[in-house]
Amino acid sequence: MNNPQRELTLRFLAEPQDVNFGGKVHGGAVMKWIDLAAYACAAGWSGRYCITAYAGGIRFVAPIHVGSLVEVSGKVIYTGTSSMHIALEVTACDPKSLNRRLTTHCIVIMVAVDEHGQSIQVPTWIPETEEDKAQHTAAIRLMDARKKIGEEMAIFVE
C-alpha cells in the first residue's frame, strides 16, 4: 500500500432512534460510532480487515442532541507490529450554526488480521510533528498504564 490513510472523519445526523430516555443520544450509540470510525481509520492505514482489541479512556464530555451534526474523527497515533492505536474525538453541533463542541474522546486499539483471523503486520507510523511526537509518547505511557490496570482487574476475572 503506497499511501496509507492516517486519519478520517465520519459525519452524520443524530437520529431519533439514537436517543435515550433522557432525550439525549445514548452512550451506546456514541460508542458504536467510535468503533466504526476506528475501524475505518485502521483499515485505511493497514489496508486490511481490522478488529477492535481495546477501547478505553472514554470520556463523555457533553450530551449530543437529536438532529445534531455529529463528527467522529480518528487518527493513528501509534503502531505496533499488527496493532494501531487510534485517537478518536466526537464533536456535535446544530447543523445551522456549525459551532462544534467536543462531546466524547477516547483511544481504541485495532488489530489487522488476515483471512484466517490471524494478526498481520501493519505499516509503521513514524511521528513527524511535535504534536504527533507528543501523542505517540502518550500512547506508549497509556500502554504501560493499561498493563497495570489489567493486573488490578484480574481479581474480577474467574
Task: Provide the pLDDT for residue 150.
Answer: 85
Residues 6+ apart with CB under 8 A from 142: 56, 57, 85, 107
pTM to 2 decimal places: 0.92
61-101: pLDDT as tens digits: 999 999 999 999 999 999 999 999 999 999 999 999 989 99
Task: Provide the pLDDT for residue 2.
Answer: 59
CA distances, 54 to each of 19, 27, 34, 86 (Å): 25, 17, 12, 10
Task: Provide the pLDDT for residue 114.
Answer: 96
CB 52 within 8 A of CB 110: yes
Show the cell assigned to 53: 482489541
Task: Provide the pLDDT for residue 71.
Answer: 97
CB 37 within 8 A of CB 8: yes
CATH H-level, domain 7-156: superfamily: Hotdog Thioesterase (3.10.129.10)
Residue in the structure block whose three cell numbers are 509503521 = 124
Residues of the chain with pLDDT under 50: none
Strands 69-79 and 83-93: antiparallel
